[in-house]
Amino acid sequence: MEFDFIKFESTHARIEDRITVTKSGAIGFPTKFYEDNKIANFKFVVLYYDVNKMAIGVLFTNNESEKNRFSIIHSKKGYGGSVAVRSFFKVSKLDPVTYYGRYEWQKIQHEGVGELYVIKLKEREKKEL
């Protein structure tokens, strides 16, 4: 009996396909999302916010002339990527501590913008002390 073994090398990788909002005001792209959507091919994100639907749209881009861009921090250890967007949360009057967590996303074509990855924010329930 012969086997065609492939070595498992993802012991510390986050096998997560959801976009993450952190308490410190970053948006994270875990390994699976990062690889499946080829985020390594991009340098920046541009964020869009729909205040009525509490939705954030993420546009991945390499456009150096876009002045409202955030640089993607690519993990050197293969753990995906993230963007530090504290200023986005402040200007949008969103407290990341209230909205942190993992979010399912959907990809849409937005006219005049292009392909956006959209998450709908949900307020976390405050725990009683």
- Read off the pLDDT of residues 36-91 as tens digits, 9 standing for 90 and up: 999 999 999 999 999 999 999 999 999 999 999 999 999 998 889 999 999 999 99
The pTM of the full predicted model, rounded to 2 decimals, is: 0.84
Instruction: Tell me if 66 is assigned to some domain.
Output: yes
For the segment 109-119, the average pLDDT, to the nearest whole number, is 95
Q: Is residue 9 part of a domain?
A: no
| pLDDT score for 3 | 80
Question: Cβ(45)–Cβ(118) under 8 Å?
Answer: no
In a domain, residue 80? The reply is yes
Cβ pair 111, 121 in contact under 8 A = no
Residues 6+ apart with CB under 8 A from 38: none
Q: Give residue 109's pLDDT.
A: 95
Decide if 14 is inside a domain: no
Does residue 28 belong to any structural domain of this protein?
yes
Query: How many domains would you assign to the chain?
Result: 1
Q: What are the backbone angles phi and psi of residue 101, rounded to the nearest 5°?
A: 145, -175
CB 56 within 8 A of CB 121: yes
Domain range enclosing 76:
19-120
pLDDT of res. 29: 96
- Given pLDDT bands bounded at 50, 70 and 90, which one contains residue 6? confident
Would you say residue 13 lies in a domain?
no
How would residue 112 be classed by pLDDT, with cut points 50, 70 and 90?
Answer: very high
**pLDDT, position 125:** 75
Residue 37 domain-assigned (yes or no): yes
